[in-house]
Structure formats: structure tokens, C-alpha cells
Amino acid sequence: MEQQLPEKLRAELDAPAPAVQTSLSDIMRRGLRRRRLRQTGSAAVSLAVVAGVGVLAMTLGGKDTRLNQPAEPTGVATTTAGVWPQANLPEHVPYGTWTPASTAPPPPGFPQVAIPLCDSDTGGWLDFPEAKVPAAFGEQVVAKLRAAAPKSSIGVLTPDMPPKASRSYGLRVDIRDPAGVGSLWIRAGSFTDTPLTQANRQAYAEGNCRPPQRTLLQDGTVLQIYPYRAMEPYQTLTQTLVIYRPDGRLYSISQWSDGSVDVRPDPKQPSMWERIGKGRGTLPLTEQQLAAVGIGVAGS
């Protein structure tokens, strides 16, 4: 069956896209393990906790990718085309829109977004057991990151949780350029199905309206990049790439528009992060750079 996987996925990528379908409305709740919370009604908003930082998590499912570019010093961002074909899956019809502003509005100069609200009805991130990211894999990610973003200053790997946390499975690293400081977060897990089946199951796990962009490696590894999301406070941007390997290993690599300078251990709960900085107005990497990092480490 694994030998047939490349042919199946290539056939899927070459096939015409199916008609748009409407699905049930819900919003994913994202925590360290990206917890989901079912919502009803077009005005529903889910309170999320990302590494202990309270945010309102929404998904940008539209086709405007201007914020998916590192900002110039002026804060002006440009447009980039997708790096891989979209998975041959239905687009979801938004049931409303949302603009980050209810807890802390975007600072002056941040390109403001209006977020189409869609569902995550095909499975969330709790579908896989979380595992500790091997240090060697983290170092490989940093090496590929330096190669993909040679004009950015790349920091050192640190645990994704504060020192007083009971455990920390993931890793994070800062990315600095003239627009400010962002970061890359790395998580790991496992699954028991084929890479393509698991990728399809989690195709809308980010609450995205559009199917993820997807590609296939010779060994059957599936990689997919999700549309970027916007969250609060201020206007935090994030975008995730997931690697599904034939041996059942899964790696999630996410870029964020805030970095270590924007968080500190919460004085009231030192095992969690407290958000103190506004971050930057754009993501630190382009989709092409994020894809290059994923491709570079996918076979590791």
C-alpha cells in the first residue's frame, strides 16, 4: 500500500478541484496540544491558550497572502504565490468574519486583517500523541532555517515552556530582521495511519477555509502548509507546516509574529508564559522559506 501512496497523491494533486461545499461551523481551540472547542453561531469566538498566553484564535482562509512576507522597515508587505498545489479537497464557505481588536487592537502600522470564519470538522491536533522533539532534529531545523533566511538573525533553540514548567516537549527559536522579532516553534508526535490519510484527516485542523498546500516526497512523506491565522492580543500571526512521515512520525513547524522578547513567565503562574510585547506586523518567513525548511528536514 505504501508503494502506491506517491501515485495516489500525485493523482490527487493533478485532479480538478471539487465544488465548494458548506460545512458545520466551529472554531478550533488551540493550546499546547491545540485543544478544540465546538462553537455555534456566526459570532462565536473561541478563547485559546497558546503556550500559556491567552489569545482569541481565528483562521485566515482568504487568498490574500500579503502578511505572509517579512515586512520591510516601512512595514509594507508584498504578495507571494503558493509554493505547492492545494490538496484536492473542498473549500469551506465562511460563515462570518472577524478582525482582531477585542482585547488589544493591532498597533499603528500593523496591516489589519478581516478573518473569514470556517470550521475544523475533519480532525484536530489531539488526534496524535505528542512526543518530545529530538534535539538533533531541532538543530537540523535551525540549520535549514539559516539557509532559507540568510538575511535574518537566527537565535538559539530553547524549550517552548518556561523553566518552571513540569515538562516541555517542544522547541522554539527566534527569527530577527529589520521588521522585528518572530519565532519558529517545533513540535513532534506520531500517528498510525498512512501519511496521506492522516494529512487528509487534519486538512482543516487549523480552522482554515482553504485546503492546505501539499507536496509529496519520493519516500511517501507528505508535507502540507496551512493558510496563516490571526490571533489576539494585538494581532498575532501564525502559520503551520506539518510533516507526515511513512514511519508514523509527525513534525509540526509553526512560524509566529512574536518572539521571546514578547513573553515572560507569568508572575502568578510561572509555569506558563505571559504576553508582554506587541510582536511584529508580519510573519518572519515567506511561505517559500517555510517550505524550504520543511523540505530540508523532512527526511531526517
Query: Could you give the percent of the chain with pLDDT greater than 90?
Result: 50
Residue 50 has pLDDT above 50, yes or no: no
Residue of 161 and 48 predicted with greater confidence = 161
At which residue does the C-alpha cell 473569514 appear? 116
Predicted confidence band of residue 283 (pLDDT cuts 50, 70, 90): very high
User: Exposure pattern of 91-103 as b/e (b: 16+ CB <10 Å)?
Assistant: bbebbeebebeee
Lowest mean pLDDT among 47-61, 70-84, 120-134, 203-217: 47-61
Residue of 240 and 44 predicted with greater confidence = 240
Q: Which amino acid is residue 294, in one-letter code?
A: G
Residue 69 has pLDDT above 80, yes or no: no
At which residue does the C-alpha cell 527559536 appear? 173
d(CA 71, CA 63): 18
For residue 290 the three cell numbers come to: 517555510
Q: How many residues does the chain have?
A: 300
Residue 168 has pLDDT above 90, yes or no: no
CA angle centred on 212, ends 209 and 218, rounded to 5°: 165
Strand partners for 183: 174, 256
